[in-house]
Amino acid sequence: MDSKRITTENDLKIAFHIRKEVFVEEQGFQLESEFDEFDTLNALCEHILVYYNEKPVGTGRLRVVDGLGKLERICILESYRKFGLGKIIIKTLEEMAKEKGLSLVKLHGQTQAEGFYKKLGYQTSSDIFMEDGGPHLLMIKEVC
């Protein structure tokens, strides 16, 4: 189990496939809302893949928004959950934020994942709000 930064278009396509399978096909989010202008290989956003037995099975991305690291598009293929891969994705993105000199990170977590994020030190900082058709919470963590 490891993770790596995405540096090639091929790896980015693999991440998109994972996101489509999880968010669109499994969870029912709209395809149009899943992909945006940050889904490129440029300085605006960094993407990662997480591997299980050398197979890419999860992804996430980091953007800098208003001076905070924003963890986004975090997902793992359903049959690979419960192996601790979500924690690897979060820790990798947090390390990337620290490398950028950021001391705070935030995310918009789906409400069913609130307990997972709390175990990793995140604090809920909002009431439930709707994003892309699903209930979410703003969660924040200090990573310095």
**Backbone phi, psi, residue 5, to 5°:** -70, 145
**Backbone phi, psi, residue 129, to 5°:** -135, 160
**Backbone phi, psi, residue 86, to 5°:** -60, -40
Q: Residue-wise pLDDT tens for the chain (144 aa)?
A: 899 999 999 999 999 999 999 999 999 888 888 999 999 998 789 999 999 999 999 999 999 999 999 999 999 999 999 999 999 999 999 999 999 999 999 999 999 999 999 999 999 999 999 998 889 999 999 998
For residues 19 and 47, what is the distance between their CA atoms, to the nearest angstrom? 12
In sequence order, what are the residues at sequence separation of 6 or more whose Cβ sits closer than 8 angstroms to the Cβ of residue 81?
A: none
